[in-house]
Structure 1
Amino acid sequence: MSAVLAALGLVVAAVMLLPMRLRLRLDSDPVPRLRVGAGVCALPPRLPLVDTARPHRQGARPGAGAGAKASWRARSRVLAALPRAGVDLLHRVRIERCHLTLRFGLGDPAATGEMFGRLAPLVAARWAMPRGALLRTEPDFGRAVLEGQGDLVLRAIPVLLVPALVRLGWALR
């Protein structure tokens, strides 16, 4: 029994120390679809983690009842903690490929312009992107719309992500 536990511990340690690849594919045409896959070392990401085109199980969804105010507080805590966690994670993740075209509009020209201004530093951050990266944003000031396509391949060593994830968990406690 102890040999099995030791072998299992070695396998977990090896997986945590090996570089992992994560591939995110996003497409809004003809229906919105997100696909996330993972792979180990130099192998292409083949293990599907998320595919929104798969049929979902029908079950009861929680409604917006008495817990709606509590869930709003929880969401605001998460949104407040995400910028620092995102920066921490980006320091430990290598972007291997990034192709993103996005067309968006919020229905209000002022809000669309503000969002476009907030996205501009990300689009201009060519130093953080691999050679050949494509980031294109196109604001639509006339209507509310979100369309686009994206393909993102990230590479990271899982054990190096643990401190950032622990800080995120501590901020959300």
Structure 2
Amino acid sequence: MALLIAIILWLLLFILALVCLALITPVFVRVHLTTSPQFAYRVEMRALAGLAPRLTLADGPRKGPVAKDKAEHRPKTARPKRRRIPSRKRGHGAAVRALPTLVIGILHRIHLKKLHIDADYGLSDPAETGRLCGLLMPLQYAGPIPTNVTLDLRPDFTKPSLDGSVTAVVRVTVAALLFPVTRFAWRAFGPGR
């Protein structure tokens, strides 16, 4: 019996160590959006500083026929009316006031590792496309762009269009997010609120 308890305790300790390791090592999140031939997206995550296998969090529509026909032929059902549930007002104002610091705190802990934008763009008037091109060219060529950012922007003066893809990879440590979340919870729902 003592051996079984020892095995269970060592197993729990091992699981706790794995959870702590997952919390303190960086997680890489890769987001890929594309608009050609149709809109699609993919969100992937690699834990343990990229050593863990890639995990797909969200996968948008695949290339193929668009499923508009099924949605158009689906009969519409009447929704039942919902009862209004009174909301709790305690801490509502404090939560709204503390929300900007939460967003800023989280954004400070998310690090951009790679950003690649490849796009063809055009407006209905070639002159307007030229103006937009004039606004976007300094982003692409004039300023010092970080090495992890790549911009490939091409104007299309023949027709209105926006075709291309965006790939972004960010690094975040889950344990670092606990500080702004805890600060937000204390300011919004702590004593005296």
- In the alignment, does 2:54 pair up with 1:46? yes
1:149 paired to 2:165: yes
- Percent identity reads 22
Q: 1:16: which partner in 2?
A: 23
Gaps of 5+ in 1: 68-76
Of 117, 122, 126, which aligns to 1:100?
A: 117
Report the RMSD for the aligned CA atoms in angstroms: 5.1
Matched, 1:133 2:149: yes
Distance 1:89 1:6 in 2: 30
The 2-side partners of 1:9 and 1:19 are apart by 17
Q: Secondary structure of the equivalent of 1:16?
A: helix
The change in CA–CA distance for 1:62 and 1:170 in structure 2 (over 3 A counts) is farther
Q: Could you tell me how far apart the structure 2 residues matched to 1:104 and 1:169 are?
A: 43
Checking the alignment, whether the CA contact within 8 Å between 1:94 and 1:156 is kept in structure 2 is yes
Q: CA deviation at 1:7?
A: 2.6
| 2:44 equivalent in structure 1 | 37
SS in 1 for 2:18: helix
CA deviation after TM superposition for structure 1 residue 25, in Å: 0.6
CA–CA distance in 2 between the matches of 1:97 and 1:82?
Answer: 26
The amino acid across from 1:5 in the alignment is: L
Structure 1 residue 94, shift from structure 2 partner: 2.0
> How big is each residue's C-alpha offset from its partner over 1:132-165, in whole Å with a ceiling of 9 and x where there is no partner?
412467899xx99765411111112211122334
Compared CA separation, residues 139 and 167, structure 1 to 2 (3 A) = farther
Q: Judging changes above 3 Å, is the alpha-carbon distance between structure 1 residues 52 and 16 closer, same or farther for their aligned structure 2 residues? A: same
2:110 and 2:175 mapped to 1: Cα distance? 11
Q: Where does residue 71 of structure 1 map in the other structure?
A: none
- How many residues are matched? 144
Give 2:105's aligned residue: 88
Cα distance between partner residues in 2 of 1:10 and 1:102: 44
With normalisation by structure 1, the TM-score equals 0.55
Aligned residues of 2:109 and 2:176 also touching (Cα < 8 A): yes
Partner SS for 1:160: helix
Work out whether residues 23 and 45 of structure 1, in 8 Å CA contact, stay in contact via their aligned partners in 2.
Answer: no
Report the TM-score, using the length of structure 2 for normalisation. 0.50
Which structure would you say has the larger Rg? 2
